Chains A and B, each alone.
Chain A
Amino acid sequence: MSGDGSVDEVEDHRAYLAQVMAEIDQEVRRRRSSGDLPARVERQLDELFLEHSPVAGRGGALEDALALVDSSAFIDPVVPVASNRSGGAVVKKGLRSLNLWYVGFVTHQVSQFAAATSRALHLVEDRLGELARELDAQKVPPAPVVDVPGDGDPTAWWVAGALDALGSVPGRVLHAAASDGWLVRHLVAGGVDAYGVDPRVGRIDAGEREGLDLREEGAVDHLLAVEPAGLAGIVLSGVVDGMAHGERRQLLELLGDRLTPEGVLVIHAWSPSAWGSDAAPAEADLSPGRPLRPSTWSHFLEPMGYRVGVEEGPSGADYVVTAFRGRADRPR
């Protein structure tokens, strides 16, 4: 480019900028999928910085703050008098003597106030500790994510139907819990803009190495960060099974907000009878809730504007709910 700014040159430059941006996008995808800089590492950078933020470290922050209050609660009215200059120390001592009666009077009151404040804060800390212990004993734990029969198997009975329902949605599709990305892989191969989340440590690693867009976080945490109407499809498998009623209701409200007006929701879950059998995972005993009967999903979802189809698996151990919003067709 010669730099004379002719129309042709400017147009050429703009076209090249667009080409470069597309190539940068490809370069970033390549770097992430090759493991040079996984998306997870970028998120860890954010988390590392947030540890320095004023709202970080909720557990120890009050303790640290109190230690700081304690260490600065006493104000010393006796100023240092050392000096590098000849006679400086004598002059400073004289000034200190002259001012000490007044400064001492003021600092005595400030120190008393600081000590009283510190004492009050310690009482607050003690009370908060008691409340935290009481709440801890009563709180309902979040539902664990579980593997549902057929998870990880792209030939499982419900997968073809899910791919069919989601194959033509205009927008992003989320799978939770995605495990190693087995369903995401199939959706992407079918031309769907899909990604997944799974909070279980290490479960996404293999898929992430493969270059799939997978994130190690829970479904609710992730959905809270998604913009309204930001998803055209959501597949939940092993997420809702053990949820308590309140947690499930909050999730449904969140799903309603994050799905587009014509979005598709697919839920793959354990059947209640199998949940109580020996085939169910250990998490079944540790969960605050149990799976709903398939027909109960219609009871929940139809008042929210979904058209709901329910299908039970051939073994009776699991079922799938497919729910369409708005003008989406093909209720199953």
Chain B
Amino acid sequence: MTDPGTDGARPAGAVHQFIPALIPRDATGSHTLLLRDVLREAGWRSEIFAEATHDELAGQSHRIEEYPSQARPGDVLVYQFSTSSVVAEVLASRSEPLILNYHNVTAPDLYGSWDPPAAARSEEARRQLAVLAPKAALGMAVSAFNERDLRDAGCARTTVAPVLVDLERSVADPDPRTAARLRKDRAGGGADWLFVGRVVPPKAQHRLVEALWAYRRLYDPAARLHLVGTAPSRRYLTALRGFVADLGLEDAVKFHGEISDGALAAVYAAADVYVSLSAHEGFGIPLVEASRVGLPVVALGVAAVPETVGDAGLLVGVDDPAVVAAAVDRVLSDDRLRLGLVDAGRRRSGEHSMVVAGRRAVEAVATVAGAPPEGSPPAVPGDVP
């Protein structure tokens, strides 16, 4: 990692990013790391300043307190906004041009009484957004859905630049032990549903359990549901496990937790359909990952999901168990539909390749920072074939 204050080759023209917490395998964290690489490839100096950094990423960022002493004229600051943080207060007091890279904030009421601290954080994040949005030189939203939020918050100039995703993680070398275990489960027959996302109320995993119950009753008694993702809301997880037990689905619903890229690739490879009934998605990276690996998608068409999925998924208007079960059955039993979704998904995931998304990000940043210092072309690494 270079020191942003000591790189004398280009004294001006730096685009630095700020993030509350830099975490591996986290959508905002991964985007931040990839954007840094894209900005550097384009010719800007670029560092990451974080309030906290996961041990696994030690050395990838500076502490936020270090920035004031290293600030240089001509710096442009990019804030990766997805939650409340002291970083927002720091940036509100800075005079450098600010780009608000907005990943959306979940509506507090979606947490309800399940997770009052998370609801309070969402409230605070919305308050901070209202402070920063009018000040931002550019609001860079990862979806048109998010762009509307930015405008509503008072951002005068906005654009949409897709989130940067390393889609290769979903097709990494599958972990052999996970793959073997899944093969064993599949030997008894039955379809495998998959959902990837944090186990929290807004992701509505309980609705997936209901839909699976209906699907097993109506179409496929041996079907399984795989839930991948960390569970920050212990209360919701406990309720979910209790609900699964009430319905007698202990053997059918698999809680994988947070898993390695290899294990995730194995789960993606073993699944028959990706199902999302999430009530709130600012973008929905796993929807694109599923399309990348050739999984048909059935999803509740709310928030940013329709624009992320496009015609690569069967979008249901309601999350009634009978509707979702019928939609999944249709996808799995109708070859024309399934292959159409898979083809459309592969095309769609190509639109989210690093080349396309990286170029768009560089163009957006250049409208505030000017052309990269050496006039470098916006070349970016890591294209998806």
Contacts and interface: CB of A to CB of B under 8 A. Distances in A.
A31 B218 contact: yes
Interface in A35-82: 36-37, 39, 42, 45-46, 48-49, 52-55
B320 A28 contact: yes
Contacts of A3: 339, 343, 346-347
Interface stretch (A11-19, A154-162, A287-295): A11-19
Interface in A15-32: 16-17, 20-21, 23-25, 27-28, 31-32
B210 A20 contact: no
Interface stretch (B128-136, B160-168, B235-243, B273-281): B235-243
Nearest to A52: B239
Interface string B113-146: 1100000000000000000000000000000000
A202 interface: no
Given A3-B343, A48-B247, A28 B323 contact: yes
A223 B238 CA distance: 32
B239 A49 contact: yes
Interface in B310-342: 311, 314, 316, 320-323, 325-327, 330, 334, 336-337, 339-340
B311 A24 contact: no
B214 A37 contact: yes
A52 B337 contact: no
Nearest to A13: B340
A28 B339 CA distance: 23
B322 A53 contact: no
A42 B320 contact: yes
Contact of A14 (B209, B238, B311): B311
B322 A42 contact: yes
Instruction: Give chain A's interface secondary structure class.
Output: helix
A205 B209 CA distance: 26
B344 interface: yes
B226 interface: no
A24 B326 contact: yes
Contacts of B323: 24-25, 28
A7 interface: no
B330 A20 contact: yes
Nearest to A54: B113
A226 interface: no
B330 A23 contact: yes
Nearest to A45: B210
A135 interface: no
Interface in A148-189: none
Contacts of A46: 210
Interface in B152-197: none
B206 interface: yes
Contact of A16 (B209, B210, B213, B340): B340
Contacts of A53: 112-114, 239
Interface in B281-333: 311, 314, 316, 320-323, 325-327, 330
A23 B323 CA distance: 11
A36 B343 contact: no
B54 interface: no
Q: How large is the interface on A (under 10, 10 to 19, 20 to 34, 35 or more residues)?
A: 20 to 34
Interface string B212-223: 011001100000
B246 A48 contact: yes
Contacts of B217: 36-37
Nearest to A17: B311
Contacts of A314: none
A303 interface: no
A110 interface: no
B218 A37 contact: yes
B276 to A, nearest CB: 17
Q: Which of B113, B235, B323 has the most CB of A within 10 A?
A: B323
A95 interface: no
B322 A32 contact: yes
Contacts of A191: none
Contacts of A10: 311, 344
Interface string A241-278: 00000000000000000000000000000000000000
A48 B330 CA distance: 27
Contacts of A25: 323
A225 interface: no
A32 B339 CA distance: 29
B246 A28 contact: no
A5 interface: yes
A137 interface: no
B63 to A, nearest CB: 33
Nearest to A32: B322
B219 to A, nearest CB: 10
A124 B372 CA distance: 67
A55 B115 CA distance: 12
Interface string B78-112: 00000000000000000000000000000000001
Contact of B113 (A16, A48, A49, A55): A55
B321 A42 contact: yes
A282 interface: no
Contacts of B316: 21, 24
A20 B113 CA distance: 38
A1 interface: yes
Contact of A36 (B218, B311, B346): B218
Contacts of A21: 314, 316
Given A17-B311, A28-B320, A37-B218, A49 B340 contact: no
A176 to B, nearest CB: 22
A39 B322 CA distance: 8
B334 to A, nearest CB: 7
Nearest to B350: A5
A52 B343 contact: no
B242 A52 contact: yes
Given A48-B246, A49-B206, A53-B114, A16 B320 contact: no
Nearest to A25: B323
Nearest to B217: A37
A174 B236 CA distance: 35
Q: Which of A23, A31, A52 has the most CB of B within 10 A?
A: A52
A27 B239 contact: no
6 contacts: A1-B340, A5-B343, A16-B340, A27-B326, A52-B242, A54-B113
In order of increasing CB-CB distance, the 3 nearest A-B pairs are A52-B239, A3-B343, A54-B113
Given A37-B322, A49-B243, 14 more contacts: A1-B339, A1-B340, A13-B340, A13-B344, A14-B311, A20-B330, A36-B217, A36-B218, A48-B246, A49-B210, A49-B239, A52-B238, A53-B114, A55-B113
